[in-house]
Amino acid sequence: MEIAVYSAKPYDREYLEAANATMGHRLQYFDAGLDGETVALASGHGAVCIFVNDKADADVLEALALGGTKLIALRCTGFNNVDLNAARNLGLKVVRVVDYSPNSVAEHAVALLMAINRKIHRAYNRTRDCNFALDGLMGFDVAGKTVAVVGTGKIGRVFAKIMLGFGADVIGYDTFPSPEFEALGARYAVPGEIGASADIISLHCPLTPDTYHIIDATMLSRAKRGALLINTSRGALVDTEAVIDALRSGQLGGLAIDVYEQEAGVFFRDLSNTIINDDTLLRLMSFPNVIVTGHQAFLTREAVTTICQTTLQSVTEFETGQPLSNEVKAP
C-alpha cells in the first residue's frame, strides 16, 4: 500500500524500513508535518502515517479523503490531534499504537525526577567549567517520600513499581482504578490527599476534555509547598502560566517535562540557530529548577521497533480486509 509518512525523522525511516522488510508497503517520507499546507503531498496515497503534532482536523481529513486516502495510521498512542467524528463521516479509518513500551516512558519520567531532584543538569554544567562546588545542589531522598501517580495505566504502573523500589509511599489517582496498581503495593488517594501529601507528582494520563489543565492554579495552590512535578504524557495537562507563577513563588519546587502545551512549532526541530518566538517556553526554561526534554520519552530501540511494526501491521490489516486490531473510533 502507498503510505505517506509525515514528520519523518531519521530514526523513523530506519525503523520503518526495517519493519517494512517483510510487509512490502511503499513508503514515501516527508520531513514536514501534516497540516493544511502539506496535505496535498498525500494525494494518491491510500494511507498516511502521522505523529503526535501532525494536524488532522476536519479540513485536513476532508482534503485527504478527496486525495484518495482511506486510512490514518498514528505511530503513537495519543489521538487527540485527529477529529474522529470528521473521520467517521468521511469514511476514514483511524488506527494507533495502543501499546509499545511502557518502560520507555516510565523510565524517562524517573530519569527526569532524579535529575531535577539531585540537580544533575546544574552539576553537569558546573563541572564542564571545572566548578566542583556543591552549594545549591541539595536534593532529598526519594525513600520515605509520597509519590502521586496521576493515571495508573500501563505506564503509570511501571513508574509506580519503580518508585516503590525506591522505598516511596505511592498513591494514585485514576477515574478507572486498577487492581494491578494496588497489587503492586500502592494505594489510591483519598480526596485532597495528593495536594496535601505528595512530595512528587507524576502525570501519566491521556489528554481528554476532563484532563485538560488538570494541573492548574487551583490545584497548585493546594499542593504541598516545594513539591516536584513531572510530565511525560501530554503538554496540555498542565497550565503552563499557572506553573510559572507557582515556580516563581516557590510553591512548586521543581518541574521536569518532556511535553509542552505549545510544542508543535518547536519540538522535533533544531532551532539552535534561530530565535524562538515562544516567550512562555523561554521563561519556563529560564528557571534553574526546570528541565525540559523534547518529547523523547518514547525514544528507545525497543519502543520504536514496536511502534513501527504495529503501525505497518495495522496498514496490512486494512489492505487485506482484516479486522483492525488497533482501530480508534469516535465515541
**pLDDT higher than threshold 90 for residue 125:** yes
- The CA-to-CA distance between both ends of the chain, in Å, stands at 28
Q: Are 53 and 7 in contact (CB under 8 A)?
A: yes
Angstrom distances, CA of residue 56 to CA of 51, 217, 227 = 10, 31, 37
Whole-structure pTM value: 0.90
Active-site residue flag, 187: no
pLDDT at 325 over 90: yes
Sheet containing 47-50: give its strands across. 26-29, 2-5, 47-50, 71-74, 93-95
Q: Tens digits of per-residue pLDDT, 211-262?
A: 999 999 999 999 999 999 999 999 999 999 999 999 999 999 999 999 999 9
Our CA angle for 261, 263, 264, nearest 5°, is 120
For the chain, the domains span 2-100+300-319, 102-292
Q: What is the largest CA-CA distance in the chain?
A: 64
Distances (CA, A) of 40 to 30, 66, 235: 12, 10, 29
Banded pLDDT at 28 (limits 50, 70, 90): very high
Question: Which of 295, 301, 317, 327 is labelled catalytic?
Answer: 295
Q: Which of 107, 261, 263, 317 is catalytic?
A: 263
The active-site residue out of 75, 107, 234, 317 is 234
pLDDT of residue 78: 87
* 128 counts as catalytic: no
CATH fourth-level superfamily of 2-100+300-319:
NAD(P)-binding Rossmann-like Domain (3.40.50.720)
Cell numbers linked to 122: 546544574
Residue 18: which H helix or E strand, with range?
A: helix 10-20
Residues 6+ apart with CB under 8 A from 161: 184
Residue type, 63: A
66 pLDDT exceeds 90? yes
Is domain 102-292 annotated with CATH 3.40.50.720? yes
Per-residue exposure over 235-247, b if at least 16 CB sit within 10 Å of its own CB, e if not = bbbbbbebbbebb
- The one-letter code for the residue type at 267 is F
2-100+300-319 and 102-292, same CATH topology:
yes
Helix axes 102-117, 154-166, angle to 10 degrees: 40
Mark whether 301 is an active-site residue.
Answer: no
Element (H, E) at 182: helix 179-183
| % of the chain exceeding 70 in pLDDT | 100
What is the C-alpha separation between 286 and 269, in angstroms, rounded? 20
Instruction: Summarize pLDDT for 74-98 with one digit per residue, the tens.
Output: 999 889 899 999 999 999 999 999 9
Among 329, 309, 330, 316, CA closest to 47: 316
pLDDT tens-digit series, residues 159-206:
999 999 999 999 999 999 999 999 999 999 999 999 999 999 999 999
